Amino acid sequence: MQDFLKQLNIDSHNPAYSTGLKWGPTLSNQQKEILSPVDNKLIASVQWATPDEYNHVVQTAEAAFIHWRQIPAPKRGEIVRQIGDELRKHKTALGRLVSYEMGKIYQEGLGEVQEMIDVCDFAVGLSRQLYGLTMHSERPLHRMYEQYHPLGIVGIISAFNFPVAVWSWNAMLAAVCGNVCIWKPSEKTPLSAIACQRIISKVLTENNLPEGIFNLILGDATIGHSLASDKRVPLISATGSTRMGRKVGETVANRLGKSLLELGGNNAIIITPNADLEMAIRAVTFGAVGTCGQRCTSTRRLIIHESIYQTVVERLVSIYVKLPIGNPLEDGVLVGPLIDKQAAQNFTQALNEVKKAGGKILAGGEILSGEKYSTGTYVTPALVEAQNDYAIVQEETFGPILYLIQYKGNLENAIAIQNNVQQGLSSAIFSLDLREVEIFLSYAGSDCGIANVNIGTSGAEIGGAFGGEKETGGGRESGSDAWKAYMRRQTNTINYSNELPLAQGITFEV
Ligand code: UN1
């Protein structure tokens, strides 16, 4: 067994759930093997939870909420501070596991754990800043204010591409707000989740906290559906494809629960004639091939002014043909594997479709084979000349395909192309022209939740609210006031007079 697995207390057979300190039984007859996309080797096995186990976890969480909500928010923040410290101690081992289980390069694995540490720090500060407003009442000797209370159980459904960070955005904020969490990680990356749960278990034990505050449950879409349809779970935060989010959103809406959806992106970078091209090229490359094109913020479309199109394309082709592709744990490699063979097939299928539609592949687009690449998960990132209205360009293909699209005339034309997709997560412009930049950021500009200037579409800092519009789902996670999604707001009016005046000056004498 690899050293980092030992350091993270991952066993070769792992149970289906944990309520924080206790772990579910390990039954040998229902093992699910988790293979690495890096070398197709068995990392460890896990099990999926049964409906009874699901129910047990929810009941334990319900009981824990009664306790946890009484603990003052800054004291809850202190627990999260300790979790952040534990994560610091395990940063290299966890970064390595994330890299090995998911396939992102080690630097990005480390970055993901850093994102967790940062969000812990953010949540600690937030635990003293869960502010509500005070209003001046229109009635004499009355006071009005609002306060925020925790919701209860927050169900967190996370995706394989950020197997740990997105959980922490949700769980750490939810926790300081006084909620308890049930985390259902992607069925493709359960071991990274088990590692996190083991790390936080230590903090929970040391602080004599009860079972049920941070829960983990492993399973496929049936567990996701159980959470989405469960009235005992007032908020579901789900990250994944638009297809998945639509199902979850509909199920939650049907019981009038709350959902926080962070779904697909079809993110574009606009390069205008006034761009710093060298900066733009670097940002595009990281955005399009980083994480092997498997971030929801990955750059999928490049909208380039016709006057610089040829120059940009030639530069990109010269970079793409030399990209170091290989084992993501090796130094110098910039592109690791896709998550599995199915993803490689989806990549090929999308390229076939774009070719049929009239697109032209300028670089990459192959599934690699041979000794170093025998898993069938390594591909060469593709650069494809395309039109925005091709059906496949309108879709999010979770892989390293960058569609090159020309625009003519002024920036408005580029913005129209950019906005002409169903998704609305991230966007960027490269321009040193103040007018262009401000138009891009104005109401008539980008329609996305994230709009950047002279930086790429991916790699957002945790301090801002993260999420997008349209089919991206509308949710906001992480920084700014995203915490409000994890609380219920209550407006309070207090009368300390001897009269009972009605609002709006209504007279109602009995
Ligand atoms: C995701 O891909 O689901 O902005 C999240 C970024 C990262 C988060 C991506 N901080 O690319």
Q: Is 239 in the pocket of ligand 1 (CB under 6 A)?
A: yes
Ligand 1 pocket test: pick from 296, 448, 472 the residue with the most ligand atoms within 8 Å of its Cβ.
296
Q: Identify the H or E element spanning 421.
A: none
Could you tell me the sign of the dihedral formed by the alpha carbons of 421, 427, 432, 438, in that order?
A: positive
The pLDDT score that the predictor gives to residue 29 is: 67
Residue 239 Cα: closest atom of ligand 1:
3
Q: Are 217 and 100 in contact (CB under 8 A)?
A: no
Give distance in angstroms: CA of 509 to centre of ligand 1. Answer: 59
Residue 298 Cα: closest atom of ligand 1:
11
CA gap 455, 355 in Å, rounded: 30
> Which string of DSSP letters, residue by residue, matches 12-50?
SB--SEE-SS-B----GGG-EEEE-TTT--EEEEE-PPP
Give distance in angstroms: CA of 264 to centre of ligand 1. Answer: 11
Residue 458 Cα: closest atom of ligand 1:
11
Q: Is 110 in the pocket of ligand 1 (CB under 6 A)?
A: no
Mean pLDDT of each 10-residue bin along the chain, 510 residues long: 92 96 82 96 96 97 98 98 98 98 98 98 98 97 98 98 98 98 98 98 98 97 97 98 96 98 98 98 98 98 98 98 98 98 98 98 98 96 98 98 98 98 98 98 98 98 98 97 98 98 94
Give distance in angstroms: CA of 30 to centre of ligand 1. Answer: 33
Q: Are 231 and 257 in contact (CB under 8 A)?
A: yes
Residue 426 Cα: closest atom of ligand 1:
4
Only one residue has tokens 């709350």, namely: 258
CATH 3.40.605.10 location in the chain: 2-263+473-490
Residue 460 Cα: closest atom of ligand 1:
4
Select 267-462's CATH number: 3.30.420.40, 1.10.10.10, 3.40.309.10, 3.40.50.720.
3.40.309.10
The pLDDT score that the predictor gives to residue 27 is: 77
Q: Are 176 and 124 in contact (CB under 8 A)?
A: yes
Structure tokens that stand for 404 in this block? 């090159």
Ligand 1 pocket test: pick from 398, 458, 461 the residue with the most ligand atoms within 8 Å of its Cβ.
458
CA gap 132, 500 in Å, rounded: 26
CATH 3.40.309.10 location in the chain: 267-462
Considering 108, 262, 471, 477, which one is annotated as catalytic? 262
Structure tokens that stand for 49 in this block? 């939870």
Structure tokens that stand for 224 in this block? 């996701």
Q: Is 188 in the pocket of ligand 1 (CB under 6 A)?
A: no
Question: What ipTM, to 2 d.p.?
Answer: 0.97
Q: Identify the H or E element spanning 382.
A: strand 382-385
Q: Are 180 and 64 in contact (CB under 8 A)?
A: yes
CA gap 433, 449 in Å, rounded: 22
Give distance in angstroms: CA of 262 to centre of ligand 1. Answer: 10
Q: Is 170 in the pocket of ligand 1 (CB under 6 A)?
A: no
> Which string of DSSP letters, residue by residue, matches 289-357?
HGGGG-STT-EEEEEEEHHHHHHHHHHHHHHHTT--BS-TTSTT--B---SSHHHHHHHHHHHHHHHHH
Structure tokens that stand for 339 in this block? 């998550």
361 beta partners: 384
Q: Give the three-state DSSP class for 315.
A: helix
Give distance in angstroms: CA of 441 to centre of ligand 1. Answer: 21
Q: Are 34 and 191 in contact (CB under 8 A)?
A: yes
Cα diameter, the chain: 89
DSSP-based helix, strand, coil % in the chain, nearest 5: 40, 20, 40
Q: Is 458 in the pocket of ligand 1 (CB under 6 A)?
A: yes
Q: Are 334 and 105 in contact (CB under 8 A)?
A: yes
Q: Is 81 in the pocket of ligand 1 (CB under 6 A)?
A: no
Q: Are 142 and 497 in contact (CB under 8 A)?
A: yes
CA gap 502, 509 in Å, rounded: 11
Could you tell me the sign of the dihedral formed by the alpha carbons of 331, 334, 274, 430, in that order?
A: negative
Alpha carbon 91 to chain centroid distance?
19
CA gap 171, 144 in Å, rounded: 31
The CATH code for residues 2-263+473-490 is: 3.40.605.10
CA gap 297, 459 in Å, rounded: 8
Residue nearest to atom 3 of ligand 1 (CA): 296
Q: Are 91 and 99 in contact (CB under 8 A)?
A: no
Q: Give the three-state DSSP class for 132.
A: coil
Q: Identify the H or E element spanning 106.
A: helix 106-126
Give distance in angstroms: CA of 451 to centre of ligand 1. Answer: 14
The pLDDT score that the predictor gives to residue 373 is: 97
Is 262 catalytic? The answer is yes
Local structure of residue 486 (DSSP, 8 states): G
